[in-house]
Amino acid sequence: MSGEPPPIDFSGLIREGDLVVCGQATAEPVTLTEALMAQAAQLPPFRMMVGPVFSETFSAASANVSFQSYGVIGNARRLAKAGRLDVIPSNYSAFCADFAARRHRADVVLVQLAEADDGRLSTSLSNDYVIDAARGARLVIAEINPDAPFTFGAEWPEDVPIQMRVAARRPPVELASTPLDDVSRRIAGHAASLISDGSTLQFGVGRIPDAILSSLSHARDLGIHSGLINDAVVDLIERGAVTNTKKGIDAGITVTNQVIGTRRLYRFVHENKAVAVRPTSYTHGQGVLAQIDRLVAINSALQVGLDGSVNSETLNGVAVGAIGGQLDFVRGANASRGGRAIIALPATASDGTSRIVANVETVTTPRADVDAVVTEWGIAELRGCGLTERARRLIAIAAPEHRDALSAQGRRPAR
C-alpha cells in the first residue's frame, strides 16, 4: 500500500468498542484488513474477531486493537503469544451458530466476495459466520476480488445489504501444503489402513492430513464432506480416487465449508458445480453427518491421555490450538454407518517429550467419544475398551523411550 492512497478511510466508520468481524483463513479480505490495521492507531479502541490467520496482516497491530478468536491457528499464534488474543472455547459449529443467534454481535463486517458475470456474489473461499454476522451488523464492507473463485453454495443472500464496496488490490491469501516427512508418512500408512473404499473423508490443515490424503490415491469411490478442502483433494479427484458416489447424500458433490490452498485449487473450484461450499450448519451439523455412510473423521491433537482423552487446545496452560470442528466431526463419524473417528499425531513433540501422556491438561474430545488413535508407531483401537486396556494400547503406540515411564504412571489407580 506504500505510495498509494488507502482503499478506504475508516475514520468515522469505526466506533469505540466496536466488534469488527473479518473473513478467516484464505477468505480474509486483505485489502480491507491491511487498510484497517494501517489506520488503527488513529481510530478509537475496537475489538477484532479473527479465525485462522494465514496472512501477515495483524503481526504489528496497534495496541488499541484487541483480538478474539475460537482458537489459535496459523499466525494467530503470534497474537496469542503476545497476550493479545482472547480465545472463546467453543466448538466451531456452536461458534458460528452464536452469530445467527446474536450471542455474538458484530458491528462492522469486512468480507471478501467473488462476483459472477451476472452480478451474483459469493463468499468464495469460506461459508462460515460472516453472513450471519453481517445480518445484524451496522456496516458491511465488501472487498470484491476478481481473483477469488465464484463457488456454489456460498452465494451472498440478497436480503443482507452491503453498504460499501472496495476493489481488491491483491489476490486471495494462499496456503501451500507443508512438505511431508518420515513421521507423517508413517502415520499416514497406519491411518490409511482404517480407510476403506467408499469412505467419506473429513480432515484439517497440516502435514499429517496431507500425508494421509496423499496415501489414498489407490482408493476408490471416496467422498469428501469436510470443514475444508485443499490442493490434495484436487489430486484425488483427478486420479479418480474421489467420486462422491457412495456418500449416501450429495452424490457427486464435494462438500466443504472452507477452501484453503493455492491458485490451483481456486481455479478448480471456480464455477464448479461438483463442489459446494456450504454453511457450517450443514457441513458440521450432526443430523447431516449421521446421514453420511462411512464418514471417516481425521483430526490431530497436541496430547492424548492414557484414558483416551484428547487435548488439541493448550500446552503448559497456554492456548496454542483450537477445539475447532474436532468434536463436531468425531461425534458425527461415530454416528455414521461404518464411520471412523481417527486422532492422528506424532508420538513425540519437537522438544522430545511424549505426546501420549498420563493426563491431558485440557479435554477437547472426551474419552467417551474417542475411537482410534494413530501415531507413527501404530494404531490404538479404543472404542469399547476399559481404562486399563486403553492405557496398554496407547503406551504401545508411544515412542519407545517413553513407554516405561508411561507404564509406571498407568499403574496408578484409575480416576
**Helices and strands of the chain, counted as H and E runs:** 13, 21
The boundaries of every CATH 3.40.1080.20 domain in the chain are 182-410
pTM of the model: 0.95
CA distance 401 to 291: 43
Sequential DSSP letters for 101-160:
TTSS--SEEEEEEEE-TTS-EE-TTB-SSHHHHHHT-SEEEEEE-TTSPP-BT-BPPTTS
Q: Could you identify the residue written with the cell 459466520?
A: 129
Per-residue pLDDT tens digits of the chain, which is 415 residues long: 456 788 999 999 999 999 999 999 999 999 999 999 999 999 999 999 999 999 999 988 899 999 999 999 999 999 998 999 999 999 999 999 999 999 999 999 999 999 999 999 999 999 999 999 999 999 999 999 999 999 999 999 999 999 999 999 999 999 998 899 999 999 999 999 999 999 999 999 899 999 999 999 889 999 999 999 999 999 999 999 999 999 999 999 999 999 999 999 999 999 999 999 999 999 999 999 999 999 999 999 999 999 999 999 999 989 999 999 999 999 999 999 999 999 999 999 999 999 999 999 999 999 999 999 999 999 999 999 999 999 999 999 999 999 999 999 876 545 4
Fold of the CATH domain 182-410: Glutaconate Coenzyme A-transferase (3.40.1080)
Instruction: Look at residue 7 in the predicted model and tell me its pLDDT.
Output: 93
Closest CA to 295 of 269, 251, 329: 329
The boundaries of every CATH 3.40.1080.10 domain in the chain are 19-167
| 19-167: CATH class | alpha beta
CA distance 362 to 350: 20
